[in-house]
A and B are shown apart, each in its own frame.
Chain A
Amino acid sequence: MLTVLLILIPFIAGLIAFGLKGSGPKVLGMISSLATVVIAIGAWGRFGTAPDSLNFVANWIPQLGSQFRVGLDGMGVMLCLLTAIAFLLVFITIYNRNYERSNSFYGLMLLSQAGLMGVFTAFDALQFYIFWELALIPVYFLCSLWGGEKRIAVTFKFFIYTFLGSLLMLVGIIYLYFQTPDHSFSWASFTSMHLNPEDQKWLFWLFFVAFAIKMPVFPFHTWQPDTYEQSPTPVTMILSGVMVKMGLFAVLRWLLPVIPQGAAMWSDVAIVLCIIGIIYASCIAMVQNDLKRLIAYSSIAHIGLMCAAIFANNEQSLQGVMIQMFNHGINIIGLWIIVEIIQQRLGVKNLDQMGGMAQKAPRMAIFLVIISLANIGLPLTNGFIGEFLMFSGLFQYNHWFMAFAGLGIILAAVYTLGMIQKIIFGQGNTLTDTTTDLQPGETLALSLVVIMILVLGVYPKPMLDLVSSTSEVVNKLF
């Protein structure tokens, strides 16, 4: 039942939020996201003691063999926790902002949270597809209504791009459905059927393209920098912190276990695409002057590494990917919170108009340094353990791949440190001299991020324990 609540609470809160006025939506959003965090933690506790109680099945369309089937495994618990925490952080950060038509803003945000929860808990392919789309639609409206100047064209491209990918996946899902012996959409029947390798060869691409667009992996990434730049920052946090994880999650849940031979056949191609993406995105990030675009490109590089590690196909790399999904989510949301603060204070997002903010906003500077270092995977921060596992997994798979992917780390250090330097050090200008330091709400959100970074950096065992069962299952089926 807990699992259903994870979807229902944000869904109902979202619908109610549309009808509220004044600060009502804000408060409701806060209450709902706190409640989801509590339930997600509760689900984590329950997962340790009685994992079966997290599954829930109800009849939906019996003629089609589709059921409302939700459940949680280790990876699911972790991603639901990430989703819950991400929305809480976003709501804390923007608590003092006043958005125009805030009832629709919070309503759409909460609906997209419900969609995301649905994606991470679905164990029925049709239901998975429906939630996959439902998570997208509120985000489309959020970006188009509250985004930057070029928002309409940019989000339109984003929508059509992802919609096309989803439809290809739908074709794949229907095809697989007819291959299952009992004509069912359940994950169990999808993973237990025997597909011939010829079919797996092309089926792989129907799914991979859909997921690669979402992540995004080179060459399907062109929507991403524009969308991140034009979206309102709270939405960018959700997009980069949680939504891109949908793609990685989907590969782990619906691609590797379902089409194992297809994935094995194409894994080299997929890894090469990812590595091209890592190096290409890192190079562009190095010469970026726009802060939001810089982080967007760095995100492509990080996701590329995670996707490559998935296809390296061994237990170490899979475990690394799974905990990195959580950690990357936390780190990038932390970075976006700081971007939001800077943008709020200065009104610009070009790096050459910044500088010397350490003097005026020392607390923000400290947070920025810690989060950035975590983002490049410094030891004792949460980013390290995941990257270490992924690289060692890639190394076992192929030395050369690991060597090229490793370039990404060096480049990441270059652009991240360059970014820190340009923002907080150097000479201040008229713009930055008037900056003020963090407000209590912002401090709270950033402190939560930094606490998670340090705790998970020093003691990652609980996360690793959580995902180890899933990575074993995926690895065995693969």
Chain B
Amino acid sequence: MNALISTALSGVVLMFVGLFVRNKQHIKFFAIAAVIIAFIANLAQYPSVELGGYVMYGMIEVTKFGVLFNAVALGATLLYFLLSGSEFEKVGEHVADYFALIFFILAGISLAASFSNLLMLFLAIEIMSIPQYILAGADKKNLKSNEASLKYFLMGAFSTGILLMGITLIYGAAGTFNITELGLGAESVHPLALCGIILMVFALSFKVSAVPFHFWTPDVYDGSPTVFTSFMSTVVKAGGFIAFLRMFHTSFAGGTISEHWTLILSIITAATLILGNFSAVFQQSVKRMLAYSSIAQAGFMLFAVIAMNNMGTQGVILYSAAYSIATIGVFAVLMKLKDYTFEGFNGLARKQPLLAVAVTIFLFSLAGIPITAGFFAKYFVLSAAIQHGHLLWLVILAVLCAAISVYYYFRVIIAMYFKQGDPGVENITGGFKAALILAIALVLVLGLFPNLLLCWL
């Protein structure tokens, strides 16, 4: 609740700050301060929800899980501001507006982590999406950015429509919007509810860019200004997963009803893993490779939704943290380079050893190599699927795909360390290096002691 209020307020305030403060550095510091305040305010709520959730008019229920996820999202955003905050001014003039939009997205995410009513789910998804349409088109004079924005908007509006239809059908079957009281699947499943659930699976799969609802992803991620791609493909995507997980675990998990959607979602997961990984192999641009890699990683996170157990819940938190930190880090370094292709990384290790080490560790984490956070993230989601019992085929498939993912992640490492070249690198400030070291430390600490994060759950 605190996170929701503080981020929404910060967003409004930031819009006005843009009118009075001309210095872009100051706006950035203001945004960093605001996100720190939101982070602390969010944690301050932890003691009060530790024993039981805090319910508000049957619309919002703040739980330990929600607070923890907000902490991850806000922490990742803080890291994102520290690493890439100065890139905002390169996109366009309205820096304060961009920061404000990011805070609105955060408000949507904190709502997604704690809704207890279908209406709130709809609002959360919309609050998360609309600022993204604007951010995608922030580079107004760039045709690709415009295309990305329009494409995202059309497809997003379409999927929101589907979500609404799903909600309506479920309301028709259950007679309530409250997700804890839907009571579906206790006896036989109402056909209306079944249709509603399938529509919701589709709509939410769209939001987390699962195959075959992923077609917007590569173009939007590639066309948007890189600094916003970095945020959209990490924190926002994790927010989508939280909504997905919360909806399906609360309402559609018990009884016979889960049998109806698990198979569909398993097939979506398998397709996501295969297509995401195979497409990433063939990319020439690192930015586009990361777009496909985000599809592939979504496949792993879907395991947590399908498995419907405690391991999966922990997994999704850890996965969000590991994936967000690593991807934000790689994007931050990418933005410092002049050339976004794999060749652009050639010889980076000699010129900027710290950047190369950082990217290597982040990519290790994305590939799931031990003592990085990504290893335990993969470990938890795979465990969740194995514990579920009927998903072993999917686990083996995921493992094969993880081996493929090594191929495209390591291409960057090979370029940096084993190839000769003179990459064009922008000025690296001391603050950037410090933030990068902080990110490396987070990846390694979570990779050695994942319980530091999970003990709060």
Interface residues of A (CB under 8 A from B): 60-64, 129-130, 133-134, 137, 141, 144-145, 151-152, 156, 159-160, 163-164, 167-168, 170-171, 174-175, 177-178
Contacts and interface: CB of A to CB of B under 8 A. Distances in A.
14 contacts: A63-B451, A134-B371, A141-B417, A144-B414, A144-B418, A145-B418, A156-B407, A156-B414, A160-B407, A164-B399, A171-B395, A174-B379, A175-B392, A177-B383
A159 B382 contact: no
Interface in B442-456: 449-451, 454-455
A163 B403 contact: yes
Nearest to A161: B403
B370 interface: yes
A145 B414 CA distance: 10
B410 A152 contact: no
Interface string B333-375: 0000000000000000000000000000000100001110001
Secondary structure dominating the interface of A: helix
A178 B417 CA distance: 40
A170 B364 CA distance: 17
A174 B385 CA distance: 10
A174 B450 contact: no
A141 B417 CA distance: 9
Contact of A156 (B395, B403, B410): B410
A145 B449 contact: no
B406 interface: yes
B369 A137 contact: yes
A196 to B, nearest CB: 14
A152 B342 CA distance: 15
Given A63-B455, A152-B418, A178 B387 contact: yes
B418 A171 contact: no
B386 interface: yes
A145 to B, nearest CB: 7
B402 interface: yes
Contact of A133 (B370, B387, B450): B370
B33 interface: no
Contact of A168 (B386, B399, B406): B399
B406 A175 contact: no
A264 to B, nearest CB: 23
Given A174-B379, A174-B382, A164 B400 contact: yes
A177 B386 CA distance: 10
Contacts of A64: 451
B396 interface: yes
Contact of B454 (A63, A129, A170): A63
Contacts of B414: 144, 152, 156
B417 A61 contact: no
Contact of B399 (A60, A130, A156, A167): A167
A129 B378 CA distance: 14
Nearest to B454: A63
Interface residues of B, number: 29
A152 B403 CA distance: 17
Contact of B386 (A129, A156, A174): A174
Interface string B380-391: 001100110000
A167 B379 CA distance: 10
Given A64-B451, A130-B375, 15 more contacts: A133-B369, A144-B417, A152-B418, A156-B407, A156-B410, A163-B369, A163-B406, A164-B399, A167-B403, A168-B396, A170-B382, A171-B392, A171-B395, A174-B379, A178-B386
A152 B455 CA distance: 42
**Which of A62, A64, A160 has the most C-beta atoms of chain B within 10 angstroms of its own C-beta?**
A64
Contacts of A144: 414, 417-418
A164 B403 contact: yes
A61 B449 contact: yes
Given A134-B371, A145-B418, A61 B386 contact: no
Contact of B406 (A145, A152, A160, A178): A160
Nearest to A153: B414
Nearest to A61: B451
Nearest to A59: B451
A174 B383 contact: yes
Given A61-B451, A134-B370, A152-B414, A170 B386 contact: no
A155 to B, nearest CB: 9
Interface string B151-192: 000000000000000000000000000000000000000000
Contacts of A160: 403, 406-407
Contact of A61 (B375, B407, B410, B450): B450
Interface string B212-226: 000000000000000
B172 to A, nearest CB: 40
Contacts of B406: 159-160, 163
Given A130-B370, A156-B414, A171 B379 contact: no
B403 A170 contact: no
Contacts of A156: 407, 410, 414
A159 B399 contact: no
Contacts of A62: 451
Nearest to B395: A171
Contacts of B455: 63
Which of B399, B400, B406 has the largest number of chain A CB atoms within 10 A?
Answer: B399
Contacts of A163: 369, 403, 406
B351 to A, nearest CB: 15
A170 B418 contact: no
A171 B369 contact: no
Contacts of A174: 379, 382-383, 386
Closest 10 CB pairs of A and B: A164-B403, A130-B370, A167-B399, A133-B370, A174-B386, A144-B418, A174-B383, A152-B418, A61-B451, A160-B406
B343 to A, nearest CB: 14
A129 B451 CA distance: 18
A160 B387 CA distance: 27
Interface in B411-450: 414, 417-419, 449-450
Contacts of B419: 152
B382 A171 contact: yes
Most chain A CB inside 10 Å of its own CB: which residue of B379, B403, B406: B403
